[in-house]
Every structure is written in structure tokens, then in C-alpha cells.
């Protein structure tokens, strides 16, 4: 098998192809959506690098795989979507997120104040994942205004940002340095 070239030169004039072959501007809303999901996936990889908890690391690998298929779904033009691709995120995936969130939340003290991003390096990384996830969710909602998007993807991204918030709190608790907003 011959090695492929990484550069194709087909995007040099501001166009790219969706999965299915349709050429679109690089400013197309689908690109914003799947590009932000890709960015989130990269930040999740960075978060994993600073974690010690094996169960959490394994769960984040599961999340990364789900984000990859969400990105692929978003990169595929609606006309090329198969029935199978419409169920890439299932109720089982939402339940897995909620179960992990409940487990993490059970170990945290009651939240009585607003949290500032930070507290530890891994907590700060989780907060970055949370905010990028929120942006990804907003971008996918913009796509959904013009193209059909499976509801489970939107629910998954919404739960995922909450998961990253809890993960940040969980990581801050390990150092005892959860940071709170203080109005001055």
C-alpha cells in the first residue's frame, strides 16, 4: 500500500469537502461544529494526561471515542447520513454519563458558592473541557437550525459539559484548593 500525502491542496482556496463529497466553504457551520468537537477531544486528551484515577481515565477514553463519532456525524452531509449513523449516541451513552456523574457527585461536598476555574492543573483542564464543550453544543444547535441533527447528540453534549464541571470539582477536592468566586 502506498503512503498517502497529508496535503491535498484541495482546500487552498477556502473550500473543503464534507463526508459525502459536497464542497463547502471552510466557514460553513458544520465545520465550526465538528471542529469544536475535535478541539474538545484534544483538550480531553490533555486532561487525561494529568489524571491519576484509572476509572476516570478509562471513562474519558470512552468519551473521546464518542466525540470522534459525533465529529464524523457532523462532518457528513445530511443527504449522506445512514440510519445507523443517526444512532451513534444512544440512551445508554447518556445513562453512562449520568451514572459517572452521580458517582463523582456523591464524593463532593454540597455546592454553596460559584466556582472559579482552577484549583489544580487537572481541575483547570477539566474547566477548559467544560467551556469548549458548551461552545460545541452551541455550534451544534446552530447546525440543527438548518440541518437535521439527532437529539441524542445534543443531550450528550449538554450532559458532557456538566460531567466536566463535576470532574473539575472532583480534581480540586484532591488538593483541597477549590476556588470560589467572591464578590468584592
Residue 172 vs residues 58, 114, 157: alpha-carbon distances, Å? 19, 14, 23
- Crossing angle for the helix pair 151-175 and 54-74, to the nearest 10 degrees: 150
pLDDT band (50, 70, 90) for residue 184: confident
pTM for the whole structure? 0.86
Q: Which of 175, 137, 180 is nearest to 157 (CA)?
A: 137
| 113, pLDDT greater than 60 | yes
Q: What is the mean pLDDT of the chain?
A: 86
State how far Cα 156 lies from the chain centre.
9
Angle at 110 between CA 176 and CA 159, to 5 degrees: 95
pLDDT tens across 68-101, in order? 999 988 887 765 555 555 568 999 999 999 999 9
| 180, pLDDT greater than 70 | yes
Amino acid at each position: 500500500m502506498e503512503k498517502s500525502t497529508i496535503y491535498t491542496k484541495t482546500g487552498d482556496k477556502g473550500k473543503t469537502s464534507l463526508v459525502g463529497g459536497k464542497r463547502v466553504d471552510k466557514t460553513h457551520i458544520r465545520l465550526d461544529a465538528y471542529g469544536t468537537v475535535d478541539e474538545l477531544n484534544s483538550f480531553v486528551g490533555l486532561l487525561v494526561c494529568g489524571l491519576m484515577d484509572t476509572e476516570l481515565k478509562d471513562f474519558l477514553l470512552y468519551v473521546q471515542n464518542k466525540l470522534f463519532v459525533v465529529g464524523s456525524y457532523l462532518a457528513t452531509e445530511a443527504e449522506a447520513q445512514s440510519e445507523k449513523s443517526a444512532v451513534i449516541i444512544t440512551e445508554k451513552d447518556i445513562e453512562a454519563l449520568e451514572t459517572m456523574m452521580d458517582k463523582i457527585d456523591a464524593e463532593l461536598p454540597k455546592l454553596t458558592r460559584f466556582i472559579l476555574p482552577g484549583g489544580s492543573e487537572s481541575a483547570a483542564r477539566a474547566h477548559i473541557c467544560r467551556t469548549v464543550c458548551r461552545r460545541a453544543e452551541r455550534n451544534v444547535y446552530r447546525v440543527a437550525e438548518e440541518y437535521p441533527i439527532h437529539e441524542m447528540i445534543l443531550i450528550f453534549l449538554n450532559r458532557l459539559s456538566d460531567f466536566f464541571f463535576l470532574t473539575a470539582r472532583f480534581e480540586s477536592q484532591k488538593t483541597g484548593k477549590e476556588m470560589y468566586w467572591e464578590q468584592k
